[in-house]
Every structure is written in structure tokens, then in C-alpha cells.
A = this chain, B = another copy of it.
Amino acid sequence: MLVKALPRRLLLGPGPSNVHPRVLAALAQPLVGHMDPVFLAILDDVQAALRRLFGTRNPLTLPLSATGSAGMEACLVNLVEAGDRVLVGVAGVFGERMCEVAKRAGAEVHRVDTQPGCALDPDAMRDAIQRVRPKVVSFVHAETSTGVLQPVDEIVRAAREVEAFVVLDCVTSLGGVPVELDAWGIDAAYSGTQKCLSCPPGLSPASFSERAVACARERKTPVQSWFLDINLLSRYVGNERVYHHTAPISAIYGLAEGLRLIEAEGMEVRVQRHRVAAAALIEGMAELGFEPLVDAAVRLPSLTTLRLPAAVTRADEAQLRARLLEKYKIEVGGGLGPLAGQIWRIGLMGENARITNVEALLMALRQLLA
């Protein structure tokens, strides 16, 4: 398969989403070195833009050199030492993943579960926080497996009462819905570039509060991952400029351009664009018999989850997605984990959150389901 012979896809799954041509052009710019003053200036710009987007003044705000799952691992392994109690709010596959990652970091993991497609219950979280008195409370802002946008305030307040650190997964929220780490009181957050930032997958924008940085600095044991140790990373992305690992230059060029596009549009306009596109999608899909899984109050605009019409069986749905991809070059996502075969996940993320894309999908589905 030659790269040049690739089909043109409309990526309306749970990510990656389509990348703006200007970002693609940035990826193709010739390299400079990772210690070159020119590159360090770009990295500074990226960090500053990420701070604005995350709504934070955290000095340690950076693009981690790996995908969102590594961002999750970075947040947890830096804060957790063996035997520490971590409370995870589990509202889907990515909450589950947090439990697994925390366990592998040696944590004593406690969890609060919810039904698929529902938000975490803040009272249940508060009760568990009071009972467990965890060092870290970790949950997902925008659960990519269910399409729930989790309200943050009450859980963070409860965590603060016991002085717990709060880790927040912003993979499918950053750049699509408002994120305000400082106002919310988040200590460590991570995202991915391939969702609402409309960049290729490969980087995990992340931010650590001064309190989180101090916690990592004062650990009794070293961070188990050398690659993700913020004590070392901060010496490269900060003023010291000490070499740690070779930064992924081209990907950071792309992210720089993607962040510039976001700022040129403005987050207010962008958030509204995501809302409008999601509303049009839900309306149009309802006519085809697809019903939203998630209550309107906690529905994530960037990723809509829809129950399949009764006429579409589990076997049908995979075939329908395959035909959509082959014949119409449109990708949508199936269910993940316990929701496999029961729902579709349709992303309208970043550049893709546009009515024209909704219309293209609806037209294709009308023909396929006719």
C-alpha cells in the first residue's frame, strides 16, 4: 500500500479526526534540531497556547511525546507511589483504563462506577472520597466510550476537602468544549492531538499544577517511568533546556499550527460550532431511528453516541460501518467495551464539526438504509 495512494476519508469516528491542510503542510516542513533556538521558540509558543487552551497558568504545560494514553500514564505515575490510595470515577472504558494504569503504578485503587452512558454521581463520588481519603482522585471529563461530558465542579470540591490531587482526562474535550483547569482546581490533565485539536495522533498535551510538580519532586521513590518523569521533562521544557529525549519535532510543528488555527477562530465560536453540528446530527439521525444514549444535560458535543435502530442487529452494524467506509469513505465508530454492538460513536471534532459533514453522513446512511 503506497502512502500516496491513500483514499480520502471523512473521519467521523471517535478520533482521529481530519487534519486541517495547514497542519499537514506544517508537518512537512524540514526539520531543525530539538536543541535549536528556533525549535525551542516554537515549543515555547506551543506551551503558551496550550496554557490558554487548558485555562491554566501552570508553568509545566507541555506536549508529551506520545499519545493520550501515555498522558494518562504520565499524570498517574508522577503522582502515585506504591501503596497510595487512588479513587477513580469509572464511567466507561477510559475510566477503567485509569484503574489499570494506577494499579500498575502500585496504587491501592478504589472505584466508583456508573451505568454506561451516565455521568458519575457527585454524591457517590463525595461519599467515596470521604471514606477512602485518597491521595489522588481521577476521572474523565469527556468519556470517549460513552459520549458523556462529566460535570467537574462538585467532584473537585469534594476532592479538595480531603486535599486530594485531581487528575482529569481531557482527551475528547480540549478544543471542543471549554476547559478551565485553574478555575476548576485540576492538578494534572492530559489530552490527545487527534480529537478536537484536529492534529495527527502522537502527542499528549498535558498540564501539571505547581502542587503536582512539588508532589513529584518530593516523592520518596523515583517515578517508575523515566520517559514520563516530569522532574526530568521540566528541565527540558523549562528554562534549563537540559536534553531528556529527542522531541518529536514534526508533530510539534503540526500542533503549533493547529493551536494557531484554534486561536484564530476563537474558542467561543468553536464551542458553538461543535454544539450546532452535534444538534444537527442528533436531529438527522433520529429520523433514521438512531436515539441518543446520553441525556441532553451531560451530552458531549464532540462525540455523539447513538443507540442503533431496532432493525439494525449487531452483525448488521459492523457491516453497515464497513460499507459506509468503503462506498462513501466515511468512518464512524462502533461501541467500545460493554457497548460494543449496541451503539455508534460519531465524532464531530475540531475541523469536522460542520453541518456539511453531518449532511454527507446522513445522505450516505439514507441510501444504505433505504
Contact = CB atoms under 8 A, between A and B. Distances in A.
Contact of A200 (B223, B248, B257): B248
A73 to B, nearest CB: 5
Nearest to A257: B3
B28 A6 contact: no
B9 A200 contact: no
A34 to B, nearest CB: 7
Contacts of A11: 31-33
Given A7-B38, A16-B249, A31-B200, 19 more contacts: A3-B257, A4-B29, A6-B30, A6-B38, A11-B32, A16-B31, A18-B31, A24-B29, A27-B250, A33-B331, A65-B66, A65-B202, A67-B248, A101-B226, A104-B225, A105-B224, A194-B249, A224-B224, A225-B225
Chain A's interface size range is: 35 or more
Contacts of A25: 4, 28
15 contacts: A1-B41, A4-B29, A6-B29, A6-B38, A9-B32, A15-B246, A18-B31, A27-B27, A65-B70, A73-B227, A100-B226, A103-B222, A194-B246, A200-B250, A251-B251
A30 B8 CA distance: 7
B33 A67 contact: no
Nearest to A1: B41
Given A15-B246, A253-B3, A9 B31 contact: yes
Nearest to A248: B202
A83 to B, nearest CB: 14
Interface string A202-221: 10000000000000000000
B6 A226 contact: no
A247 interface: yes
Interface string A102-122: 011100000000000000000
Contact of A224 (B27, B66, B104, B243): B104
Given A104-B223, A200-B249, A247-B201, A9 B36 contact: yes
Given A27-B27, A227-B73, A67 B245 contact: yes
